[in-house]
Amino acid sequence: MMTATQRMAALAVALLSSQHRAITSAFAPLPSRPITKLVAHGGGTRQRMVVVPDVANAIESSTQTLSFLNNLNESILAMDQSAAEQLAGPFFGASLFPYLAFLFFLNVPQNETPKGVTVGFATCLLFVFLTIPAAIAAKVWYDVSLADSDWLHGSAESLLTVTNLVTVVAFRQALGYKEQEQSGNLNVNIPESVVSYDPMVKLVGGLTVLAFLTALFPALAGAQVHTPYLEGFMDIPASQLPWTATHPDPENSLTIACWIIHITSLVEFLVAMGFCWRWADVTDNPRWKGLTWGLIPLHSSGITACTYHLFYNSIPVLVPLQAFLTFMGNTTAMYAAYRIAISNGWSVPWGEIPFLNAIDDDSDMDAGLIREDSQSLVGFEDLGDALAEDNDYTFIVKLFAGCAVASYVVKYGEVWFDFPFQHELNVALAFIFIPSLLNAFKWYKRSQDPTFEGWF
């Protein structure tokens, strides 16, 4: 019996063979044909052979090309969950190694990275390794992917929220201390999370136990495949909704609590990217802005995951796309952390790494720019600035409250539209790459003009 990968390979070969002419014609010169034309010459006329474009053949070639692209789109959409997971597996597995290198470079003593920030980024490994048994349980117990079992999915994904939350809180504490110190306040106490791993390790431990309990209790109670995460306590029962939407809510849709986890993770990550940018200013090392750039593919990976759920997990090809973006993001983050370490005087103990040593002069990374503050808030990454007067607790409450509002809008708003139920890959890619490109362009503009804030 053919495996899922072999079936996909056979389908691809058949598709490419049948559409070879369409591909060739797409890149061939415009078809033409000779015609005879009478032209004036002196006192008479004579015949001249001229070549004109063959419009009919050109239209036929264009039609074949469009047909090929349509068939390719259909073949990608035909990829089943098993084939998608097999394709994604190598990327997810390989992404572990650059992430370990990222953590190593980030934590070299010369960087003086706040210890709590290192703990936050390292907690992502906890999320990765504890997600594996949750995915196995979903497959063994229910024969579905982890994304289709809300209670397992929410419990596992909550660890990613923990990762980003710890990173943001630790960065926030360190930035507050540094900025007060630079303003001349010599009486400010240095936060323990800046010089010690212990506070954030304890926070991670407590939140991990809580996440484990949210999975343990349903498992002991005999949870079914679509048992809602946290019993769906934040969801509005269908019988109490004051409207009838265009489409019913599918049984594998995310609960409000699960959506909050996903949206909060995205927003927290943007805030962390903004904190990296600010850390470059307070440490007078523009290489930290390079880490913001390096984290962009990872944020796009998170957008891909949310888009996958927005379409009710019906476009499996988004799974390997997310895996590829994760691998790419871990690699760019590793390179950015390496550049930070080198700029702070760290040297490679085992000799030079040629392909990593092509580092340009600091002047291209805003070294000559003066940071200017703006009173308006436009970007999510500026939440750290906007809520600077809040303590850690009120900051977290406001962050989660805003994400809860967004979660209600997404869950109860998308059922009024047709696109989440039509499985259009092009629409899904637009949801992923338009925000990603705007995010990248926003940071580019900020590197040119420190007063530019962006759109989100």
Helices 96-106 and 81-94 cross at an angle (nearest 10°) of 30
Q: Is the pLDDT of residue 148 over 90?
A: yes
209-241 pLDDT per residue, tens: 999 999 999 999 999 999 999 999 999 998 888
pLDDT (0 to 100) of residue 384: 56
Mean pLDDT of the chain: 83
Length of the chain: 456
The confidence band for 360, taking pLDDT boundaries of 50, 70 and 90, is very low
pLDDT in the model for residue 393: 87
Given a contact cutoff of 8 angstroms between Cβ atoms, the answer to whether 379 and 453 are in contact is: yes
Mean pLDDT calculated for residue range 48-55: 54
Which residues have a Cβ under 8 Å from the Cβ of 368 and sit 6 or more positions away?
none
pLDDT digits (tens, 9 = 90+) for 259-276: 999 999 999 999 999 999
Q: Are 414 and 420 in contact (CB under 8 A)?
A: yes
Residue 352 has a pLDDT of 62
Using pLDDT thresholds of 50, 70 and 90, give the confidence band for residue 33: low
Contact predicate 160/124, CB 8 Å: yes
Q: How does residue 335 score in pLDDT terms, banded at 50, 70 and 90?
A: very high
Q: In this predicted model, which residue has the larger pLDDT, 455 or 315? A: 315
Does residue 12 register a pLDDT over 90?
no
Flag whether pLDDT at 20 surpasses 50: no
Cβ contacts of 428 within 8 Å, gap of 6 or more: 307, 308, 310, 311, 315, 318
3-state secondary structure the chain: CCCHHHHHHHHHHHHHHHCHHHHHHHHCCCCEEEEEEEEEECCEEEEEEEEEECHHHHHHHHHHHHHHHHHHHHHHHCCCHHHHHHHHHHHHHHCHHHHHHHHHHHCCHHHCCCHHHHHHHHHHHHHHHHHHHHHHHHHHHHCCCHHHCHHHHHHHHHHHHHHHHHHHHHHHHHHHHHHHHHCCCCCCCCCHHHHCCHHHHHHHHHHHHHHHHHHHHHHHCCCCCCCCHHHHCCCCCHHHCCCCCCCCCCCCCCCHHHHHHHHHHHHHHHHHHHHHHHHHHHCCCCHHHHHHHHHHHHHHHHHHHHHHHHCCCCCCCHHHHHHHHHHHHHHHHHHHHHHHHHHCCCCCCCCCCHHHCCCCCHHHHCCCCCCCCCCCCCCHHHHHHHCCCCCHHHHHHHHHHHHHHHHHHHHHHHHHCCHHHCCCHHHHHHHHHHHHHHHHHHHHHHHHCCCCCCCC
pLDDT at 45 over 80: no
pLDDT of residue 31 exceeding 90, the answer is: no
State the CB neighbour count (10 A cutoff) for residue 131: 19
Q: How many CA atoms lie within 13 A of 388 on its CB side?
A: 14
Checking if the pLDDT of 391 tops 70, the result is: yes
pTM across the whole model: 0.80
Distance in angstroms (rounded) separating the CA atoms of residues 11 and 17: 10
Residue pair 115/200 in contact (Cβ under 8 Å)? The answer is yes
Instruction: Please answer whether residues 188 and 177 qualify as being in contact, where contact means their C-beta atoms are separated by less than 8 angstroms.
Output: yes
Give pLDDT, residue 426: 93
pLDDT bracket for residue 423 (50, 70, 90):
confident
Strand pairing of 32-41 and 44-53? antiparallel
Q: What pLDDT, on the 0 to 100 scale, is given for residue 182? A: 86
Whole-number pLDDT of residue 40: 54
Q: What percent of the chain has pLDDT over 70?
A: 75
What pLDDT, in 10s, does the model give residues 66-102?
Answer: 776 666 666 676 788 889 999 999 999 999 999 999 9
> What per-residue confidence (pLDDT) applies to 54?
57
The rounded radius of gyration (Å) of the Cα atoms in the chain is: 27
Residue type, 414: E
Average pLDDT on 270-298 reads 95
Of 380, 363, 331, nearest to 447 (Cα)? 363
